[in-house]
Amino acid sequence: MVAAVRVHKHGGPEVLTYEDVQIPAPGEGQIKIKQHACGINFIDTYFRVGLYPSPVGMPFIAGNESAGEVIQVGPGVSDVKVGDRVAFVGPLGGYAGERVIPAARAVKLPNNISYEQAAGMMLKGMTAQYLLNRTFKVGKGTTVLMHAAAGGVGLILCQWAAHLGATVIGTVGSKDKAALAKANGCHHTILYRDEDFVAKVKEITGGKLCDVVYDGIGATTFPASLDCIRPMGMFVSFGSSSGPIKAFDINLLQFKGSLFATRPTLNHYAAKREDLMSIAADLFDKVGSGAVKIPVNQTYKLKDARKAHEDLEGRETTGASILVP
Ligand SMILES: NC(=O)c1ccc[n+]([C@@H]2O[C@H](COP(=O)([O-])OP(=O)(O)OC[C@H]3O[C@@H](n4cnc5c(N)ncnc54)[C@H](OP(=O)(O)O)[C@@H]3O)[C@@H](O)[C@H]2O)c1
């Protein structure tokens, strides 16, 4: 038996239950991992409240990202062996001392990446990678608006966008978060709880607006985010930390400037093994070179997952949060 955090019924952080579970032996094509660190992500709250359905039914072990050491390999696995250090993003099962995953979803960790860094960056960093390179090609001269710039994805995306040569504007919930975002590549910050962020974006850009808006907030920043985008620019709705965006009339995109809008997810961008490996390789390269740092600013014991969710949803965290089994 190993310790795990399970959800038996949907609800607030109080439904996260710390208990012992039996992790089965790995089957065909699977590996078993002793987990050293588990990432905490906003998506974990979507599964907890039932916004996203659990693909394994109820109860389920929460968590979508972890890093650890391979302790057993199932039949048919040839490219991963016992003792390998691996990390992965996968559907549920993250908040546990051990887990079984398909070997095809595991990414071997370079020696210069710790388990804690890996748990803080695989989901958030790979997301930043595809958002900046594939969803919209960011480079020198691009102006980017990133909402929640001091958050987990936020701090990584700001550093990476600045490294690519972009001008980065970030919204943040407090002055402390503004200072942190600025120290991580954000050129301009907007306190969007107090200031009209559309008016501030117009002022900062001299009316030119942004080429792309990365919006992981959802309900409370829509449709105002569209007013921050120049004609034919891109609206990237990649999450909903304030709640999902309600259905809207597609003609809105015409009136706001022939805009493009997309709702991407890492699952699709990294669905093929070769894409997963190339996204991860680019992330390891940027972190290894020091161009992108992974701020793991909150570390909790596994048994304190409830507190971790309370802090994340209470807007108390910055950068990445991890659980240590
Ligand atoms: N599509 C994908 O592939 C993908 C992958 C990973 C993550 N995501 C999404 O990326 C977003 C960021 O994820 P994360 O794990 O890095 O979280 P995070 O940004 O560290 O935390 C969420 C932040 O959102 C802001 N926020 C604004 N309104 C909020 C509200 N009503 N309740 C809670 N927070 C609110 C807060 O920052 P302020 O205090 O500064 O406002 C808060 O710190 C999420 O929407 C997540 O679903 C998407």
Task: Kindly report, residue by residue over 256-272, the tens digit of the pLDDT.
Answer: 999 999 999 999 999 99
Residue 303: per-residue pLDDT: 98
Sort 202 into a burial class: Cβ within 10 Å, 0-12 / 13-18 / 19+.
middle
Region class of 232: left (phi > 0), else alpha (psi between -120 and 50), else beta: left
Q: For the residues 200-227, what does the mean pLDDT come to?
A: 98
Residue 90: per-residue pLDDT: 83
Residue 215: per-residue pLDDT: 98
Residue 266: per-residue pLDDT: 98
Contacts of 41 by beta carbon, 8 Å cutoff, 6+ apart = 64, 65, 123, 124, 152
Q: Output the residue whose Cα is nearest ligand 1's atom 6.
A: 124
Q: Determine contact, residues 101/148, Cβ cutoff 8 Å.
A: no
Q: Is the CB of 153 under 6 A from ligand 1?
A: yes
Pocket probe for ligand 1: among 38, 40, 42, 235, the residue whose CB has the most ligand atoms within 8 Å is: 42
Q: How far is CA 159 from CA 156, 189, 227, 278, 290, in A?
A: 5, 14, 24, 20, 10
Ligand 1 atom closest to 152 (CA)? 16
Ligand 1 midpoint to CA 59 (Å): 25
User: 168: helix, coil or strand?
Assistant: strand
> In this model, does residue 82 exceed pLDDT 90?
yes
